[in-house]
Amino acid sequence: MESQTPRDRNVHIDDSAALEQLGHKQELKRNFSKISLLGLAFAILNTWTALSASISLALPSGGPSSVIWGLIVAGICNLCLAAPLAEMLSAYPTAGGQYHWAALIAWPKWSRGISYVTGWINAAGYVVLTATAPLLGSTFVMDSITFMHPTYEAKAWHQFLIYLAFTIIALVINAFATRILPLFNKAAFLWSISGFIIISITVLACAAPDYQSGAFVYGKFINEVGWPDGLSWMLGLLQGAFALTGFDAAAHMIEEIPNARKEGPRIMIWCILIGMLSGFIFLSCLLFVLKDVQTVIESPAGALLQMYFDATNSKAGSICLIVFSIVCMVFTATAIMTTSARMTYAFSRDRGLPFSHIWAKYNDALEVPLNALLWTTAWVIIFGLILLGSSSAFNAITAASVVALGVTYAIPPAIHLLRGGNLLPEDRPFKLSTPVRWVCSLVGIAWAILTTVLFVFPPELPLQFLYQHELLYRCFWSHPSDCCGYLDR
């Protein structure tokens, strides 16, 4: 727990009073500083790691131009989504986030139903999103083993045990180390930024002077998926959409930060900006040292390790670099589990879940909503058990979070615009001018609709009839890179 000054204690009183006006008692401890909460939000996005994990989709769907500029488009559109949400967070600083805002600004006749649906989508989306970090972490570990031992025969239960290890580590830290979570999330932020810098410098230094041209990195278009060129490039946008999902974490942790109405909106915006900048630089470095696109896409050890090896020409060096991503996934699993537990706690506090009185219970000894934490962990383990039976079904379930969270980002701004766009209290610290609010909301809503539609499209044509139904299902719900893996079968 970070030390508090008399001014901090006064701020806590003001925050607690604001929460009480929204109908809730202050139970969660305001232990997080703005830096530690920024660390948590950035750990959830971990943009450069997510981009590297999904690069095998964007390369055949638009090539480097889609990889680079798709991230910028996704970043700008997500900023447009985040801006009106940040304004609502400034007005109503509650861990409920989108469902609570929807209830407050929707038509009285429909507010309960809209809020209930939004809350369920958001709570389910975060529980499912929690499973993506152990999935990516275990995938990085399995790829590393395959990379070092080409004769190794991977089994589903091998990955499940690694997946389970990531999950248990995240649970233990969240349940028994609550007081050091602010420091833990600061460490997550520093580790991720350090890893991004070290990897970027290393691959450029080792690959010198054998670089791709600037025209290739920022302008090369590739279409190997069979769709028309424009649609092919747009499918590559999904990589950026995936890498910037989860910026609403600042809202669900807002009851644990002092001066919440002012700092929360800033954190929501800053985590996207930092993600865009770090992701742009990281992708540029990877593409400058890229040797052969087809080799990277088809590598049995995964695209990221192949690109590291192309740059360093060293297996040991490549493993050292991917360790940064593996440790990032420990931080990410912990951060998403923290946020998911708070979301479940808040929704149960408003009696949105079955047996809400159980999930809304706060453990005073551990200073954490323990039952909500166990609820999240149980579902993550259940999803992992599905991995033993069908990796396709598991990936279909886990990556549904990308679509689910995108829908919840669009609901409150859409309602606000339909009701005139001037319903928020005037005393909020974070304000948008009316024209900016309308433009940002319209762009953000259009982006949410576009990405939801794009997830329906199969990534490649022509489709094989026997696999078409499963492929369509998986490309709507699954991690983008997994679609490409399926097509390689």
Share of the chain above pLDDT 90, in %: 54
User: By the 8 A CB rule, do 62 and 236 touch?
Assistant: yes
Task: Please tell me the distance from the alpha carbon of residue 9 to that of residue 208, in angstroms, as a whole number.
Answer: 54
42 or 481: whose pLDDT is higher? 42
Q: Give residue 480's pLDDT band: very low, low, confident or very high (50, 70, 90).
A: very low
pLDDT at 19: 52
The DSSP string of 57-112 is HHTTBTHHHHHHHHHHHHHHHHHHHHHHHHHHHHHS--TTTHHHHHHHHS-TTTHH
Interaxial angle between packed helices 111-148 and 315-349, expressed in degrees from 0 to 180 and rounded to the nearest 10: 160
Q: Is residue 119 over pLDDT 90? A: yes
pLDDT at 460: 73
Share of the chain above pLDDT 70, in %: 85
- The CATH architecture of the domain made up of 6-487 is Up-down Bundle (1.20)
pLDDT at 329: 95
Which position has the token pair 């529980």?
Answer: 127
Q: Is residue 263 over pLDDT 60? A: yes
**Mean pLDDT along residues 438-455:** 92
Q: Give residue 3's pLDDT band: very low, low, confident or very high (50, 70, 90).
A: very low
Residues 407-420 have pLDDT tens digits of 999 999 999 999 99
pLDDT at 475: 37
pLDDT at 467: 39
SS3 assignment for 324-378: HHHHHHHHHHHHHHHHHHHHHHHHHHCCCCCCHHHHCCCECCCCECHHHHHHHHH
Weakest mean pLDDT among 10-14, 125-129, 211-215, 425-429: 10-14
Task: Please tell me the distance from the alpha carbon of residue 352 to that of residue 245, in angstroms, as a whole number.
Answer: 24
Distances (CA, A) of 389 to 25, 157, 160, 384: 44, 9, 11, 9
Q: Give residue 395's pLDDT band: very low, low, confident or very high (50, 70, 90).
A: low
pLDDT at 217: 94
User: By the 8 A CB rule, do 459 and 93 touch?
Assistant: no
437 or 364: whose pLDDT is higher? 437
Q: Give residue 265's pLDDT band: very low, low, confident or very high (50, 70, 90).
A: very high
**Mean pLDDT along residues 243-259:** 86
Q: Is residue 278 over pLDDT 90? A: yes
Weakest mean pLDDT among 183-192, 316-325, 449-458: 449-458
pLDDT at 485: 41
Task: Please tell me the distance from the alpha carbon of residue 188 to that of residue 36, in angstroms, as a whole number.
Answer: 9
pLDDT at 106: 95
Model confidence, pTM? 0.86
462 or 146: whose pLDDT is higher? 146
pLDDT at 481: 40
Task: Please tell me the distance from the alpha carbon of residue 191 to that of residue 39, in angstroms, as a whole number.
Answer: 10
User: By the 8 A CB rule, do 218 and 64 touch?
Assistant: yes
Weakest mean pLDDT among 88-97, 200-209, 460-469: 460-469
Weakest mean pLDDT among 19-28, 166-175, 214-223, 412-421: 19-28
Task: Please tell me the distance from the alpha carbon of residue 483 to that of residue 268, in angstroms, as a whole number.
Answer: 30
Q: Is residue 48 over pLDDT 60? A: yes
pLDDT at 4: 46
Q: Please choose, from the candidates 464, 126, 80, the residue with its C-alpha nearest in 3D space to the C-alpha of residue 269.
A: 80
Residues 314-338 have pLDDT tens digits of 999 999 999 999 999 999 999 999 9
Residues 22-37 have pLDDT tens digits of 555 655 566 667 788 8
Domain positions in the chain are 6-487
**Average model confidence (pLDDT) across the chain:** 85
Q: Is residue 182 over pLDDT 80? A: yes
pLDDT at 74: 94
Residues 66-80 have pLDDT tens digits of 999 999 999 999 999
